[in-house]
Amino acid sequence: MSRGGEDRRSRAVPSNRWSRLYHLGRATGDMALGLGWGGLRGLTSSDQGQGRIELSPAHARRITERLGRMRGAVMKMGQLMSMDGTDVLGPEVAEIMGTLRHEADSMPLSQLDSVLRRELGKGWLKRFREFDFTPIAAASIGQVHRAVAADGRDLALKIQFPGVRESIDSDLDNLGFVLRHSGLMPRGLQLESLLDEARRQLHREADYEAEGDALEAYNHALGDDPQIILPGVHRDLSTPRVLAMDYVHGVPVDQLADRGDAAAEQRDHAAALLSRLALRELFEFRLVQTDPNFSNFLYDTERGRLVLLDFGATHAIRPELVEVYRRMGRAAQEGNRTTLEACSRELGYLDRDASAEQVAALLELLEMTSEPLRHQGPYDFGASDLFERVYHRGRTLFFSDRLAGSPVSETLFLHRKFMGTFMLCRRLQARVDLRQIFDPYLRSAAPTGA
């Protein structure tokens, strides 16, 4: 497991609920000050003419630093916000917020030692021939250190921040409090069900033994694929809060976008691999890694291989749900509104008593979203304004109460996966023939035993 390392600030993780509420309140206050009254009103406006979220770089930096200091569930939410793209946040602000994907503050050495003593024993350092005390990555739930085991194995150790698992419930309670009283949520939204699903997911992500199980299950489902690489798990050095994996080489896949025209072929290849893998996960494996964080994917530029790193957010998907998505994809491609509406009701996008206007608004949004699936030949994500159109149309419907439904909770993280894949293709400015990749999965049923 490898992500480029650099010097980072080290700060103790705040673990008291009230101190975490304080930091969340400060971050929310910075956002409110940064946006101003007009910005807050624009953020929740149903006016399709609204442009970017006007948040100054200074305020974005303060929000990012505050969330990076907190780590945990609230930072995870900030990571999702940071993926919205430069056309929504503005290039400077998007770049600052993007640091949340891989640059949380690291633990002080005293806190790191305390965690490893508790997890691996008092003599934990003797179990390694080498141990780099400077983390190569620090994210929302833990930080990663490179190490060489006593027997010579080259490892990446993911070490969980202290108190993060215990703070998940209080963080989401605090977040719910802020959202309910901020005026940023539309009337009638089932906020509690969304937070409950986020709570379940984050507790799974904070169990590193479960993540090791998920990684091995995913590897078994993947089989022998020479273009996809997964790190192996080393159980003798793993615990519920420490995950030892192979150290693997590659560059963060989104950095291919910074290499200019010379990397165009690599960008297209990486995006095609990611898109095909997302469909295999849903339709073949029925096991989906739902965290779209860009830094979870590396690209081996020498061998043209995709490297997958993080499996804490892995979800098993019910076969019947897979088949609804298959029918929905086929209907979207064929322009079959009757089937598209029926699938939307099965997935909870539409309530039984949804009005004709609400039905029409949702179907228009779904048809817009599925544009790449109907496109003949490679779809040019770099030239497309689809994200902006979907974002502004979706925001309009969301805050005008024209979306009527409470989606099946399992779909929330699937959507996160698909949107993350779309955003990464967009970040790479890739050209991908999604219709060609998608077509085989629309024609056949899920493989038995996948």
Query: Residue 255 and residue 233: Cα distance in Å, rounded?
Result: 26
Q: 51 is written with which tokens? A: 């442009």
Do 287 and 315 touch, CB atoms closer than 8 A? yes
Q: For the chain, percent helix, then strand, then coil, each to nearest 5? A: 55, 10, 30
Q: Which of 245, 72, 272, 282 is nearest to 146 (CA)?
A: 245
Give residue 53's identity as a one-letter amino acid code. Answer: I
Do 18 and 265 touch, CB atoms closer than 8 A? no
Query: Residue 157 and residue 143: Cα distance in Å, rounded?
Result: 8
Active site residue 433: no
Half-sphere exposure of 71 (CA within 13 A, CB side): 29
Q: Which of 420, 24, 412 is nearest to 200 (CA)?
A: 412
Do 143 and 107 touch, CB atoms closer than 8 A? yes
SS3 154: strand
Taking the CA atoms of the chain, what radius of gyration do you get in angstroms?
A: 22
The single residue of 84, 105, 254, 291 carrying the catalytic annotation is 291
Q: Which sequence positions are flagged as catalytic?
A: 291
